[in-house]
């Protein structure tokens, strides 16, 4: 289908969508599991431990260049769940008079939420959501209330480490001043419900991955809670910029 004359391609540089397939040995976690007829008392203990380690959803939050994608892909490999990233949403066309940035962000967020919910419906667990606009961090407790989810907020207290990591990225935003201001906002913002802080300062990607796994496996998230969404001034946004640019 061709784009209409009054439509224009969305102006973002994300790669084309890449479908993430389930591993060869993976099956929907909701299917029945054969229980032992006798003996093996430790079997049930192992099953309970495995259930504790399972999360419905895992979100990764942090400033540009801090290592969200690296961690997300590492967790996907470790848990063999599913991986959803905003840049995976396919390109699309919009009418000329539509606010391009606002429309793009909203569509991408809602598409990612729909994907994650569908994976969950299929019985997949440890579904990783990554690289959303920081403002969406405040929506997570609303949208995913009642689910077993955790949000990992990556922070870094060494600006030089962030700059170096940004330089080594294959693609993405390269704006050191914006990165510094965004990092300050992320570091200062109080933790939200089911959010845990992970400081990557001085750590290798492998060390960050190992620490994240420990957090995910041992954190017991809240399912029922009262939540009041914080003000937008606590977050940064590449759509609205919040005065950062």
The answer to the question of residue 43 being in a domain is no
3-state secondary structure of 188: helix
The answer to the question of residue 33 being in a domain is no
Return the closest-CA partner of residue 10 out of 85, 88, 105: 105
145: Cβ–Cβ under 8 A, 6 or more apart, which residues? 223, 224, 225, 227
The answer to the question of residue 37 being in a domain is no
Residue 27 has pLDDT above 50, yes or no: no
The answer to the question of residue 49 being in a domain is no
146: Cβ–Cβ under 8 A, 6 or more apart, which residues? 223, 224
The number of distinct structural domains making up the chain is 1
Q: The CATH number of the domain where 89 resides is what?
A: 3.40.50.300
Residue 148 has pLDDT above 80, yes or no: yes
Residue 101: which domain range? 58-240
The answer to the question of residue 51 being in a domain is no
Give bridge partners of residue 94 from the DSSP assignment.
8
pLDDT tens-digit profile of 69-103?
999 999 999 999 999 998 777 777 777 777 766 77
171: Cβ–Cβ under 8 A, 6 or more apart, which residues? 13, 15
Provide the percentage of residues in the chain whose pLDDT is more than 70.
Answer: 71
pLDDT tens-digit profile of 201-225?
999 999 999 999 999 999 999 999 9
Q: What is the pLDDT of residue 53?
A: 63
Q: How far is CA 32 from CA 28, 35, 217, in A?
A: 10, 9, 23
Q: What is the pLDDT of residue 113?
A: 96
Beta-carbon count within 10 A of 236 CB: 25
Distance CA(221)–CA(152), nearest Å, equals 12
Is pTM beyond 0.85? Reply is no
The answer to the question of residue 211 being in a domain is yes
Q: Which two tokens stand for residue 12?
A: 């973002």
The answer to the question of residue 215 being in a domain is yes
For residues 29 and 127, the answer to whether their CB atoms sit within 8 Å is no
């Amino acid at each position: 289908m061709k784009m209409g004359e009054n439509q224009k391609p969305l102006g973002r540089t994300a790669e084309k969508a890449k479908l993430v397939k389930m591993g060869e040995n993976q099956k929907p976690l909701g299917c029945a599991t054969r229980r032992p007829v006798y003996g093996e008392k430790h079997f049930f203990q192992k099953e309970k431990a495995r259930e504790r380690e399972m999360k419905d959803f895992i979100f990764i939050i942090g400033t540009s260049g801090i290592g969200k994608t690296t961690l997300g892909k590492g967790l996907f490999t470790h848990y063999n769940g599913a991986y959803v990233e905003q840049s995976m949403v396919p390109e699309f066309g919009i009418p000329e008079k539509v606010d391009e940035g606002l429309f793009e962000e909203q569509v991408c967020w809602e598409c990612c939420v729909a994907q994650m919910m569908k994976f969950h419906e299929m019985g997949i667990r440890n579904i990783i959501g990554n690289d959303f606009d920081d403002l969406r961090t405040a929506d997570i407790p609303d949208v995913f209330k009642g689910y077993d989810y955790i949000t990992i907020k990556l922070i870094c207290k060494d600006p030089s480490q962030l700059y170096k990591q940004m330089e080594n990225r294959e693609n993405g935003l390269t704006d050191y001043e914006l990165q510094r201001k965004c990092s300050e906002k992320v570091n200062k913002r109080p933790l939200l419900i089911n959010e845990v802080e992970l400081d990557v300062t001085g750590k290798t990607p492998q060390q960050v991955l190992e620490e994240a796994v420990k957090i995910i496996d041992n954190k017991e998230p809240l399912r029922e809670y009262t939540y009041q969404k914080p003000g937008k001034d606590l977050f940064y946004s590449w759509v609205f910029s919040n005065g950062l640019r």
